[in-house]
Amino acid sequence: MTTYLLRRLLYLIPTLWGITVLSWGLMQLAPGGPLDQMVALNVKVSPEVKVRLTRELGLDQPWYVQYGRWLKRLSRLDFGQSFKDGQPVLRKIATRLPATLLLNSLAIGVILLVAVPLGVYAAVRQGGWFDRLTTIWVFIGYSTPAFWLALLLMILLGLKLGWLPISRLTSLGFPGFPWWGKAWDLLRHLVLPVFVLAFTGLAGLSRYTRASMLEVIRQDYIRTARAKGLRESRVIIRHALRNALIPILTLLGFIVPDLIGGSVIVETIFAYPGMGRLSYEAIMTRDYFVVMGVVVISAFLTVLGNLLADLSYAYADPRIRYR
């Protein structure tokens, strides 16, 4: 277990370093570099100011010096300031991150709670009508553009039926609501974004659960469990599902980047005040220290998600835990 952990942590180093190189390289892509982008937004900047700024920002230095300085600031979590309002990027992201984390953890919860039972049931009744139905649904789920699904649900549930609010996280009178009113209001606002965000992941995970279950059900130890005279429910849940879930934990690590990426679109459509919407706004206004901040932080979050998935994998599998 310890060696496994150490190795896993060692692998993180090149990945994290790679993320910084990638992000920094992206920044250099901008035609004319960051300054031109800044100046382009602010016509009042005179040529003299531009020269002064160039020196202040260190843009007259060779690239490795610039990268070094950027890295140093990054290590202090200094992502620079927003061009738009001069706020530190980190603070801007910090105010938006909780909403995104809420959205994503709810989505993961929904995915697990729905996809795993679906996949298990489809596998147990392999080839039956339920299995076929799930397979078709999985293909459709894979192929549906999330933003379109969002539009349709907004039209149907939001506008035509008026059951659910279609934007933001809270209603106008929110601060005055009692606590249960607040909770109810939040819940109603979260239904559509969470559902849309979870939709694609649902299809993927239920398909994977099914495959994993089918693989496990063939194993000798399942035959042993049946030969012991165990109830079928016990065979499936205690013996098969436990084994089938282990590889699914690693898959969760892969779902994390998809979810975080998906929240850009979902948050934008539902005007949801999270990091995804922040990045969209920043891109539209070329507020690009903010863009870079979001890229780096979302990458770190993904790495963290992967790490957690791997750790729980190692913990769940006694063959790794006790070695």
Partner 1 sequence: MIRLYWKRLKQNRLALAGLGVIGLLALLALMAPHLVPHDPIHQDLLHRLEPPSRFHPIGTDDLGRDVLSRLVYGTRISLMVGFVAVGISVVIGTLLGLVAGYYGKWVDACLMRLVDTMLSVPTIFLILAVIAFLEPNIYNVMAVIGLTAWPGLTRLVRGECLSVRERDFVQAAKIVGLSAPRILGWHLLPNVIAPILVSATLGVGGAILTESALSFLGLGVQPPIPSWGNMLTLGRDYLHLAWWLSLFPGLAILITVLAFNLLGEGLRDVLDPRAGT
Partner 2 sequence: MATKGNKAATSLGALLEIRGLSVEYRRHRQVIPAVRRVSLTIRPGETVGVVGESGCGKSTLALAVLRLIQETEGRIREGEIVFAGRSLLTSSEEELRQIRGKEISIIFQDPFSSLNPVLPVGDQVEEVLLEHTGQRNPHRVLEIFAKVQLPDPQRIYHAYPHQLSGGQRQRVMIAMAIITGPQLLIADEPTTALDVTIQREILELLFGLQRELKMAILLISHHVGIIAQYTQRVAVMYAGEIVEEGETDRVLQNPQHPYTRGLLDSLPRLRGEHLRRLPMIPGQPPEPLHLPTGCPFHPRCPVAVARCQTDPPYLAEVQGRQVSCWVAQGGEVRS
The yes or no reply on residue 117 touching partner 1 (CB under 8 A) is no
The yes or no reply on residue 228 touching partner 2 (CB under 8 A) is yes
Which position among 260, 278, 309, 314 is part of the footprint of partner 1 (CB under 8 A)? 260
Q: Phi first, then psi: give them for residue 119, nearest 5 degrees.
A: -65, -40
Q: CA-CA distance, 125 to 306, in Å (whole number)?
A: 32
Q: Which is nearer to partner 1, 209 or 279 (CB)?
A: 279
Map the footprint of partner 1 across residues 183-242, applying CB under 8 A: 214
Which residues, including other chains, have CB under 8 Å from residue 276's CB and lie 6 or more apart?
A: 100, 260, 263, 264, 265, 266, 267, 268
Q: CA-CA distance, 276 to 272, in Å (whole number)?
A: 8
When CB distances are held under 5 to 8 angstroms depending on the partner's kind, the choice from partner 1, partner 2, none that residue 224 binds is partner 2
The yes or no reply on residue 31 touching partner 1 (CB under 8 A) is yes
Which position among 122, 240, 248, 292 is part of the footprint of partner 1 (CB under 8 A)? 292
Q: Which is nearer to partner 2, 7 or 319 (CB)?
A: 319
Q: Phi first, then psi: give them for residue 88, nearest 5 degrees.
A: -60, 135
Cβ atoms 93, 279 nearer than 8 A: no
3-state secondary structure of 81: strand
Q: Which is nearer to partner 2, 203 or 240 (CB)?
A: 240
Q: Which is nearer to partner 1, 26 or 51 (CB)?
A: 26
Which position among 306, 309, 313, 314 is part of the footprint of partner 1 (CB under 8 A)? 306
Stretch that binds partner 2, among 98-106, 165-173, 213-221, 296-304 (CB under 8 A): 213-221
The yes or no reply on residue 132 touching partner 2 (CB under 8 A) is no
The yes or no reply on residue 109 touching partner 1 (CB under 8 A) is no
When CB distances are held under 5 to 8 angstroms depending on the partner's kind, the choice from partner 1, partner 2, none that residue 268 binds is partner 1
Q: CA-CA distance, 278 to 290, in Å (whole number)?
A: 8
Distance of closest approach, residue 311 Cβ to partner 2, in angstroms: 17
Contacts 24+ apart (CB under 8 A), 229-237: 236/120, 236/124
Q: Give alpha helix (H) positions in the chain.
A: 2-29, 33-41, 47-56, 63-75, 89-124, 129-143, 146-153, 179-217, 220-227, 232-234, 242-269, 275-284, 288-316, 318-321
Which position among 1, 6, 18, 323 is part of the footprint of partner 1 (CB under 8 A)? 18
Residues that bind partner 2 (CB under 8 A): 126-127, 219-221, 223-232, 234, 238-239, 242-243, 246, 316-319, 322
